[in-house]
Amino acid sequence: MQLGLQDKIALVTGGTSGIGLATADLLLGEGARVAICGRDAERLSAARAHLQARHPKAVLLAETCDVLDRDAVVRLHAQVQGWAGGLDLLINNAGQGRVSTFASTSDADWRAELELKFFSQINTINLFQPMLRMSSCAAIVAVNSLLAYQPETYMVATSAARAGVQSLVKSLAREFAPHIRVNSILLGIVASGQWERRFAKEAAPGQSYAAWIEAEAVKRAIPLQRFGLPEEAARAILFLGSPAASFITGASLEVSGGASRHI
């Protein structure tokens, strides 16, 4: 199946590592023109070098941007406009979760988590929506979590915020139709730097990372008995954002190894 992404213009926020970087890599492999952004200039430079080494002929833009800073997103919009003159696909790759119970979550933590999850979507959509409307195949993909439908008490603030983002996706899919499709992926556990840091703290002496990850997957009752890989999430993002998914909007695609229990 052809995804139809050749020469399309895509922006990936949080594109310096993990799922964002894997998504940019796959997009470039499909012949898309790709802009990535991230807050850390050093990580951004490393991501740019990695992508250019893998795709020497890539049309790539890499810019520092904190998507919670509206002025920074305004500057990013101007940079993308000057670089490509348009946009076909916006991929909002929000930040990591917050481990906390209701009792341990302060008011400041609630505000920070809600702002992160909502405004990492809202700021970019507000600024880039007019540019997307000029495209004949415009799409937005929100990278969300299975917590939106299956909350965990030890991640109460993140679960609540993720549910709100999922409601936002549904609302925008109807409001932006028929001009812009809006979909999301719902992630289970995906291997990342966050899990590598936990391994360093929690692993038994002599235990390998692979063995520790496998044990964690079994303990968490993931039916496929492993964590997901960033490129597996990226493939789902590419499909939903591509012209191949032209009649899909307001949908969510689980990438969880079968971990969901809701119907």
Same domain, 103 and 219: no
Share of the chain above pLDDT 70, in %: 100
> What's the CA gap between 84 and 80, in Å, rounded?
6
Cα–Cα distance list, 147 to 136, 163, 254 (Å): 33, 7, 11
Same domain, 115 and 182: yes
**pLDDT at residue 115 tops 80:** yes
Same domain, 71 and 47: yes
Tell me, what's the pLDDT at 45?
A: 97
Tell me, what's the pLDDT at 79?
A: 98
Query: What average pLDDT does range 7-11 have in this prediction?
Result: 98
Task: Report, in this order, helix, strand and coil percent for the chain, each rounded to 5.
Answer: 50, 15, 35
Tell me, what's the pLDDT at 203?
A: 83
> What's the CA gap between 3 and 227, in Å, rounded?
26
Which residues span the domain enclosing 46? 9-190+229-255
Cα–Cα distance list, 183 to 72, 134, 186, 248 (Å): 25, 19, 10, 8
Tell me, what's the pLDDT at 46?
A: 97
**pLDDT at residue 94 tops 80:** no
Same domain, 173 and 209: no
**pLDDT at residue 69 tops 80:** yes
Q: What total number of domains does the chain contain? A: 2
CATH number at residue 117: 3.40.50.720
The pTM of the full predicted model, rounded to 2 decimals, is 0.95
Same domain, 202 and 247: no
List, for residues 156-204, the tens digit of each pLDDT value: 999 999 999 999 999 999 999 999 999 999 999 998 877 788 888 888 8
Tell me, what's the pLDDT at 201?
A: 85
